[in-house]
Structure 1
Amino acid sequence: MTYESEIKASGGEASSVHLDYDPPERGSALTRRRRAIIIGAILLLAAIAAAYVLLTAGAEEEEADRGSQAPAITVISPGRTTVEGQVIATGVLAARREAPVGVVGEGGRVVSVPVDAGDWVRQGQVLAVIDRSVQTQQARAASAQVQVAQADANLAQSNLDRALQLVERGFVSKADVDRLTATRDAAVARVQVARAQVGELQARNARLNIVAPSAGLVLERNVEIGATVSAGSGPLFRIARGGELEMLAQVGEEELARLRAGVSAEVTPVGSSESFSGQVWQVAPTIDNRTRQGTARIALSYDPALRPGGFATARILSGTTTAPLLPESAVLSDEKGSFVYVIDSENKAQRVAVETGIVTSEGIVIQSGINGTEKIVLQAGGFLTEGETVNPRPLGK
């Protein structure tokens, strides 16, 4: 609205002034509208900020709740350890060089067995005696035949000597001398034949004694007095040459590849807490295609506690290796092979395949798959699933 007013100046003249002026009611309305808009905007921004804060706090709280509900899992970082390699194997004890002893002659009835299992014998010692009453008479008869043949040879020689004395006088012809010489030679030959027959019978009689082919320990005695034996009776005794024993350790083909002749071993018989030192003297050149195992032969000195045929366990040294060493509880396996659970930076369990090596009293050597710096689940890995969030706790904290 425009208002027009007359104002008298100091000089008495009047002037006319026009003013643009809004009534007080209209101005206050506009101010209130602007203020309301600003306040509304401020309130809207405050509401948005409050909602953001609430949502962020809710997410953090939910994440905290989720973290607090995650299972607590003990983890370890094994690092790398220098381990003395060893192979644990089982097998049987046996004689290193076993000598079966049986009948080498015609056999007969056993009349004496002067040794028993567990006895030490020397080379050539009599183990059993077979009745030789008939053979003895035959030997005597043969000896008598030697005497008869020798007498005939002596007579033939005398006849030849006389003929040679008479041939110079012309009483005996040259043909008679030749005939007497042949007779003498035949008689001498018959003596040699008779003596050879006696020697044969004596050798046969000697073979009726069953003797030890070498010094050693008698492992088995399979004959008794009164038994009738022959060449087909099988071994009557078994002797460990020199008393030397061995263990036939059955080793997997992977472990067998790491063994060499000359490495040391400790052998513990079943039922005994005592261990015996030995040495691998032969590694089998072949692998059984059914069991995938080979034989490592461990030489052992004689000891009464080592009984051939018994079962034993061997710990064979196979050099040193540097690798992560994990407790058995940390290593799992299924149809896909061996594996461990590694906790990543987001505290989630990740399955990692590993290749296991030798097993020691301290744990299992891991040949590949991890380097030892990872956080590895120590226990309860069988209850985890890959990708599961956990609350890792280092061992001892």
Structure 2
Amino acid sequence: MRARPRRWLVPLLLCLSLAACGGAKEDEDTAKTSSGLTVSLAPAQYQPLARAAVVSGPVSAFEEMQLGVELSGQRVTALKVDVGQSVRKGQVLLELDHRTLDSELAQAEASLRQAQASLSLAQVSYERGAKLAAQQLISAGNLDELRATRVQAEAQTATARAGRDAAQLRRDFAELRAPADGVISKRLVQAGQVVSAGTELLRLIRDGRLEWRAELPEEQLATVAVGNTVELPYGGQTITGRIRAVSPGVDAQTRTGTVYADLPEPGALKPGVFVEGRILTGAGRALMVPSAAVVQRDGHSYVFTMKDAQTVQRKRVRTGQTSQGKVEILEGLKEGERVVAEGAGFLGDGDRVRAVSAQAAENKTP
């Protein structure tokens, strides 16, 4: 005969099963708490901050002069400078074929001497006639003719002098001279080339003077003033400049304006170099947190604060400039709020953590 199962065993087994599940859940919660990431906290605090606008821009010549000749159809016979050479004002940079011009100048000088000789003769004749007329040895009409001859000789002399000056000017045009001190930055001509008037042949950086130009958004442009110091890190050194001018308005499309900084000692900088610079706009105070506290996700900046004793929450913030390992917080945090200073990159919103102060974390570091 088959034995019947005892009914009291069923409730007993059910209770044992529930007790086992409850114990497993408690063990899971305990493990989760004990396995929470240990993070350090630091408060958001107002601190002194040297205000600066960081922006990139090209190095350019302060004034670059395009040089050419004023004669057409002449051949370059001598090119006396090359790119990178320093020149002085008045120095001959190139020469054109001037044989025809020399001949024209010689003819003009000969014509002037001939006119001057005629003037001298007319002057002497008039003076002699004036004396004779005073003694009534010649008529007044004869004296008038002598006076007219002298005036005509003076006019011919003036015409000849103007012709000589024009020939001399054309001869001078055969030599291209530096209009100012500077550095040759470009050469677009070769010896033997036939050139035209107005064509650019050489380019000169006046006084070798360079400047840095940068486009700033309208918010930053409002903080920059003439006289602000500019620091340009380049080639292992920092080139210092000063803001010379700030554009009075902004572009209607890009909403940016231009600043111009003089570089009295450009060092290794060359025209065309694109370099990032810091424009020091003054000192102030800013709400700062450690740089490691700010994480970038989905194109935005976030920090993690404590939601309760064991849970973190993610907050979106707007950051400003960085200085000495700390980041300026413009929006999203209040003074005194504690943020995760180390370990923020491994966290997600709602994660459980074990928090210690930043000072305690430093003390534990060997």
Check conservation: 1:81, 1:322, Cα contact below 8 A.
yes
Give the counterpart letter for 2:213 in structure 1. Answer: L
Find the residue that maps to 1:275 and give its secondary structure: strand
In 2: Cα distance, 1:294 partner to 1:138 partner: 55
Counterpart check, 1:125 vs 2:91 = yes
One-letter amino acid of the counterpart of residue 258, structure 1: T
- CA RMSD of superposed structures (Å): 3.2
Task: Note closer, same or farther for the CA distance 1:224–1:88 as it changes in structure 2 (3 Å cut).
Answer: same
8 Å contact kept, 2:42–2:339 = yes
SS at match of 1:345: coil
Question: Amino acid of the residue matched to residue 343 of structure 1?
Answer: M
Q: How does 1:90-239 map to 2 (within 5 A)?
A: 90-106=56-72, 108-161=74-127, 163-164=129-130, 167=133, 172-234=138-200, 236-239=201-204
Cα distance in structure 2, aligned partners of 1:146 and 1:289: 62
Does structure 1 retain, via aligned residues, the 8 Å contact 2:224–2:281? yes
Partners of 1:125 and 1:261 in 2: CA distance: 35
Task: State the secondary structure of the residue aligned to 1:150.
Answer: helix
Is residue 243–residue 301 contact of structure 1 (8 Å, CA) maintained in 2? no
Supply the distance in 2 between the matched residues of 1:228 and 1:250 (Cα, whole angstroms). Answer: 42
Contact 1:105 / 1:207 at 8 angstroms: preserved in 2? yes
Q: What CA distance in whole angstroms lies between the structure 1 residues aligned with 2:248 and 2:298?
A: 31
Percent of aligned positions with the same letter in both sequences? 31
2:20 is matched with none
Which position in structure 2 is the counterpart of 1:316? 279
The answer for the alignment partner of 1:376 in structure 2 is 339
In the TM superposition, residue 136 of structure 1 has moved relative to its aligned partner by 1.0
**Structure 2 residue aligned with 1:83:** 49
Is the 1:344–1:375 contact (alpha carbons within 8 Å) kept by the matching residues of 2?
no
SS at match of 1:340: strand
Which residue pairs with 1:29 in the alignment?
none
Which AA in structure 1 matches 2:204? I
Residues 45, 289 of structure 2: 8 Å contact kept: no
Q: Do the aligned partners of residues 372 and 133 (structure 1) sit closer, same or farther apart at CA in structure 2, a change above 3 Å counting?
A: same
Q: Which secondary structure state, in structure 2, belongs to the residue aligned with residue 80 of structure 1? A: strand
TM-score of the pair, normalised by structure 2: 0.79
Question: Equivalents in 1 of 2:114, 2:72: separation in Å?
Answer: 28
Structure 2 counterpart of 1:17: none
Matching residue of 2:33? 67
Normalised by the length of structure 1, the TM-score is 0.73
> Cα offset for 1:124?
1.4
Tell me the alpha carbon deviations over residues 278-302 of structure 1, each in whole angstroms, 9 at most, x when there is no partner. Answer: 2222223333445444333222124
* Corresponding residue of 1:342: 305
* Aligned mates of 1:172, 1:346 — CA distance in 2: 132
Residue number in structure 2 paired with 1:331: 294
Match of 2:228 among 263, 286, 310: 263
Is 1:283 aligned to 2:246, yes or no? yes
User: Size of the alignment, in residue pairs?
Assistant: 339
| Cα distance, 1:348 vs structure 2 | 3.5
Q: Which amino acid aligns with 1:128?
A: L
Displacement of 1:210 after TM fit? 1.2
Partner of 1:252: 217
- Distance (whole Å) between structure 1 residues aligned to residue 299 and residue 123 of structure 2: 98
CA distance in 1, matches of 2:194, 2:260: 38
Alpha carbons 1:215, 1:242 under 8 Å: kept: yes
Amino acid in structure 1 at the alignment position of 2:57: G
User: Deviation at 1:237?
Assistant: 2.5
Which one-letter code corresponds to 1:97 in the other structure?
E
User: How is 1:345-360 mapped onto 2 (pairs within 5 angstroms)?
Assistant: 345-360=308-323
Amino acid at match of 1:366: I
SS state of the match for residue 237, structure 2? coil
Check conservation: 2:44, 2:333, Cα contact below 8 A. Answer: no
1: CA distance, partners of 2:133 / 2:229: 87
Q: In the aligned structure 2, how far is the partner of 1:130 from the partner of 1:180?
A: 46
> 2: CA distance between counterparts of 1:264 and 1:158?
74
CA displacement, residues 94-129 of structure 1 (integer Å, 9 cap, x when unaligned) = 222333322245572222222222222222111112
Q: Tell me: CA distance 1:382–1:306, structure 2 relative to 1, closer, same or farther (3 Å).
A: closer
CA distance in 1, matches of 2:319, 2:176: 55
Tell me the amino acid that sits aligned with residue 157 of structure 2. V
Indicate the structure whose relative CO is greater, using CA pairs within 8 Å and at least 6 residues apart. 2
Letter in 2 for 1:276: I
Q: Does residue 392 of the first structure (1) align with residue 321 of the second (2)?
A: no
Gap runs ≥5 in structure 2:
1-22
Deviation at 1:317, TM superposition (A): 1.9
1:142 to partner: Cα distance: 0.8
Change in 2 beyond 3 A, CA 1:116/1:302:
farther
Whole-Å separation in 1 of the counterparts to 2:250 and 2:347? 39
Report the Cα offset of residue 89 of structure 1: 2.1
Q: Secondary structure at the match of 1:219?
A: strand
C-alpha change, 1:378 and 1:366, in structure 2 (3 Å) is same
Distance 2:159 2:229 in 1: 60
